Amino acid sequence: MADSLILEVADFEHDVLTGIYSEETGKPQPLRFTISVRLKPYDRYEPDTPLSASKNYMDLKFAASGALPEGVHFTLIEAVADHVCETLFLQDERVEAVTVKIVKLAIAEAGESIGITLTRERR
């Protein structure tokens, strides 16, 4: 098995226009994101290895917030996850795979996590 480097931002919350039910449409709803990116790692990381040898973690957070088009309603959270994946692939050619987990916070009735996980490999 080849070496890999996984970067992750977990449990980041952001409001997104999404949903199919009348009570969901027209207003943003809170989503919880966990985003993992697989990169091909350097052969070795030394104490003075520069950031360019990896990826800025804030790029993952940006893909689920600032990079989402303002005013666009995503019917399915699967489409939100797909957009996040494509954003990260476009940002950095070293990204080999992206996994996006989204939990819809507004529909939980007893603290359960309801949502999806999408994993995309670079094509």
The tens digit of pLDDT for each residue in 86-114 reads: 999 999 999 999 999 999 998 888 888 99
DSSP state of 41: P
pTM of this structure = 0.92
pLDDT digits (tens, 9 = 90+) for 18-60: 988 777 778 899 999 999 999 989 889 999 999 888 899 999 9
pLDDT given for residue 109 in this prediction: 84
Which parts of 1-123 fold into alpha helices (H)? 57-63, 77-91
Domains of the chain: 5-43+52-121 (3.30.1130.10)
Partners of 33 in the beta sheet? 12, 102
